[in-house]
Structure 1
């Protein structure tokens, strides 16, 4: 049994989930950053992970899914605040179209998936150590 492949699969999963956590945290951090409606402001991002079409054995040798970032393509939130320095002529201030509930769900699911990959890696490590113990005793 090739333990390096098992560790690589968990490592690739942890890398993808860490990226999801970072993107969700960035989106949440910029959710209340106003910008002038005529200017280009912060665009929320999303993580897209795609496995390359191949046999399962080939996926084990690969570095894992290809993780890319792309803009979420959501409209900005417009809040009426005529006294704000970035308000337009109608008194609206633009904020990034970040949905905090969606970002929190993404953050929690990525955290749980990361924890599952850590558990899988720890199990593979325990199996490898047990195999060495059995081999040493025999």
Structure 2
């Protein structure tokens, strides 16, 4: 039973990490400057999950862990706003403002999926806890 709790706990951590990345993407939907103040739009983050061999339980289950958190490598969206102080001043995109390429609909769907997975794992933990309690009643 402890391994079931370990596996579910690993999933909770993984889904929380996903939700943090999604929250960051939504919060920075209109961020056009990077951490240094340069005109470089925010790049959406994504989380890569993988099986966690350390939580393998005799072939009966495998935990999950965060393999990496990456940044999307896509071109920004450009909006023509020639009077904006954030507009590009020269080159092909002169007069345009570069915005992050973050799709709000995709982020909401991903958030819903992460929340549902989190809730499912909390449910598994509750059931495992109930099994433990019933086992103790029988043995006592």
- Cα-Cα RMSD: 2.6
Between 1 and 2, higher relative CO (CA 8 Å, sep ≥ 6) is seen in 1
Match of 2:16 in 1: 18
* Residue 129 of structure 2, aligned match among 120, 125, 128: 125
User: TM-score, normalising length from structure 1?
Assistant: 0.84
Q: Deviations over 1:78-134 (max 9, x none)?
A: 111112111013211111111111111110000000000000000000000011011
1:29 is displaced (CA, Å) by 0.5
Match of 1:92 in 2: 96
- Structure number with the higher helix fraction is 1
* Residue 32 of structure 1, aligned match among 30, 33, 37: 30
Moved over 4 A (4+): 52-56, 58-63
Any gaps of 5 or more consecutive residues in structure 2? none
Any gaps of 5 or more consecutive residues in structure 1? none
